[in-house]
Amino acid sequence: MWTMVALLLDLASNGIVRAGPGTIFVYLLVMTQLTIFTVTLYLHRSQTHRSVDFHPALTHAFRFWSWLTTAMVTREWVAVHRMHHAHSDTEQDPHSPHVLGIGTLLFKGTELYAEACRSKELLTKYGRGTPDDWIERHVYTPHCNCGPTVLAIVDLALFGVGGMAIWAIQMMWIPFWAAGVVNGIGHWWGYRNFETADRSANLIPWAMWVGGEELHNNHHAFPSSAKFSMRRFEFDLGWLVIQMLAGLKLAHVKRVACADRKHPEYHAIKGPQHATLAPRVWAMTEYFRKVMLPAVRDETRRCGATPSPSLSLRLRRALADGGRWLTADDRVHLNAWIDARPCLRTLCEFRTQLAALMEQRDVDVGSDGLSRWAHAAEVSGIGSLQTFAASLLANTIATR
Ligand SMILES: [Zn+2]
Ligand SMILES: [Zn+2]
């Protein structure tokens, strides 16, 4: 009798495996990384954006893992994320830190997600094409919470009562890193390679623990690309795994963005395998890089000898989007700085007109508005603007 009690007490405190801290650490690392891969490879890149297909057996393994470790339903995740892309950083975005506050995203990201999932309209409009077989209808969707319950029992059996702490970390992993950090900080802080219409940013060039999702601005620029890294110093762990799976014939990549920024046609390559930049993103990125930034640098150099209030990096960045996201005070400051510099004011006006034109669907060189804009740029007498106008026309012709 006492032996039995002692055995049960030992099992409760140490679990079946009697793991030490090292084993627990490795277990947590492997389990959380598998969950991250399930989210970024399966839910995000494959189901939401259709940039990669997986072997049916692997697809099902992802579905099972998602059920076991996250309780997330594929259709709901896909719908919420597609809605985010369709309305990024607007009132309709289910999780914009600029609308809801960064604190809300970091600490209540899961609640925002759950609230968005309650909208039947959202699920119908954005959740198409996700699994709808027997197991989805009878197990994964109606019993989504059973997965984490099973996982809790497994952790308890393996590690004893300490397994509950391990389980809690597993349960917090995706809500914190995906719903909080990527959805929140990924639209709040970081560097931008592309002038997308939203405020997406690359957090850092590499972050193994979020599997490539840290390159969020690249992803918003090329949503249908299976690969998120674009520059030489950026590393996408998810893409590395996709390549390995493709080598094993378990993955079929459907689209990849051309990563060579110096390639003369990196934005214009067309074909089933290439994700391309939207004309608006390409035009606004090039305009900022090749027209606005050189003009600001010239201005700074010119004023170098005389005392002149220089523009903070934040306000300089704001020239990329016309100060759209600045506070009223900052916008007044920026406008005053621009108004004192006629050449820059002209360039800002051209930028505003170009942005409005590029918002229109099917904009091409044949459109009166763009032709008029290019003509005005060519006679502006500003060298960088003239060069840009010529490349814009050439690019638009090439992509028609
Ligand atoms: Zn985003
Ligand atoms: Zn996405």
Q: DSSP string spanning 200-230? A: --B--S--GGGTTTTBHHHHHHSTT-S----
Q: Are 215 and 236 within 8 A, CB to CB?
A: yes
pLDDT recorded at residue 261: 54
3-state secondary structure of 379: coil
Question: 220 CA to middle of ligand 2, Å?
Answer: 7
Q: Do 74 and 165 form a contact (C-beta atoms < 8 A)?
A: no
> What was the pLDDT predicted at 272?
53
Opening angle at CA 264, ends 258 and 266, nearest 5: 20
CA–centroid distance, residue 183 to ligand 2 (Å): 10
Distance 89 CA to ligand 1 centre (A): 8
CA dist 269 and 61 (Å) reads 34
* Tokens encoding 312: 């903070």
Give the chain's length: 400
Residues of the chain predicted below pLDDT 70: 259-272, 304-310, 361-366, 396-400
User: Looking at the CA of 88, which ligand is closest?
Assistant: 1
Residue 46 Cα to ligand 2 middle (Å)? 10
- Which of the ligands is closest to the CA of residue 40? 2
pLDDT at residue 364 in the model? 56
How far is the centre of ligand 2, averaged over its atoms, from the C-alpha of 314 (Å)?
26
Q: How many angstroms does the Cα of residue 78 sit away from the middle of ligand 1?
A: 13
User: What are 53's strand-pairing partners?
Assistant: 252
State the DSSP code for 364.
Answer: -
CA of 261 to the centre of ligand 2 (A): 21
CA of 304 to the centre of ligand 2 (A): 43
Distance between CA atoms of residues 29 and 344, nearest Å? 51
Q: What is the pLDDT of residue 320?
A: 84
Cα 126 to ligand 2 centre (Å) = 13
Ligand 2 centre to CA of 216 (Å) is: 8
Quote the pLDDT of residue 363.
55
Q: For residue 212, what are the contacts with CB-CB under 8 A and spacing of at least 6?
A: 40, 228, 229, 236, 237, 238, 239
Type of residue at 350: F
Two tokens, residue 345 = 């004011």
The Å distance, Cα 223 to ligand 1 centre, comes to 10
Cross-strand bridge partners of residue 256: 274
* Residue 307, pLDDT score: 46
Distance from the alpha carbon of residue 193 to the mean position of ligand 2, in angstroms: 16
Give the CB-side neighbour count of residue 173, counting CA atoms within 13 A: 27
| 272: its two tokens | 């089933």
Under 8 Å between Cβ of 34 and 4:
no
CA of 352 relative to ligand 2 center, distance in Å = 27
CB-based contacts of 99: which residues, under 8 Å, 6+ apart? 89, 90, 91, 93
Cβ < 5 A residues, ion ligand 1? 200
Q: Which ligand is nearest the CA of 44, by number?
A: 2
What phi and psi, each to the nearest 5 degrees, are found at residue 250? -105, -10
Distance 220 CA to ligand 1 centre (A): 6
Which ligand minimizes its atom distance to the CA of 82?
Answer: 2
CA of residue 199 to ligand 1 center, whole Å: 8
For position 232, what pLDDT does the model report? Answer: 87
H or E segment and range at residue 256: strand 256-257
Residue 344 Cα, ligand 1 centroid: separation in angstroms?
A: 31
pLDDT (0 to 100) of residue 214: 94
User: Which ligand has the shortest distance to the CA of 47?
Assistant: 2
Q: Which helix (H) or strand (E) holds 265?
A: none
| CA distance linking residue 38 with residue 72, whole number of Å | 11
Question: Which tokens belong to 307?
Answer: 């005392």
Question: For residue 193, what is the DSSP state?
Answer: S
Q: Rounded CA gap, 108 and 400, in Å?
A: 44
Cα-to-centroid distance, 363 and ligand 2 (Å): 24
Structure-token pair, residue 146: 């059973």
CA of 298 to the centre of ligand 1 (A): 34
On whether the CB atoms of residues 132 and 125 are closer than 8 A, the answer is no
43-49-50-52 Cα dihedral, nearest 10 degrees:
-70
> Separation of 114 CA from ligand 2 center, angstroms?
18
Strands of the chain, DSSP E: 52-54, 251-253, 256-257, 274-275
Task: Give residue 41 CA to ligand 2 midpoint distance, Å.
Answer: 11
Which ligand has the shortest distance to the CA of 219? 2
Provide the token pair at 358: 């590029």
- Counting ligands in written order, the one closest to the CA of 89 is 1
Contacts of 58 (CB under 8 A, 6+ apart): 245, 250, 251
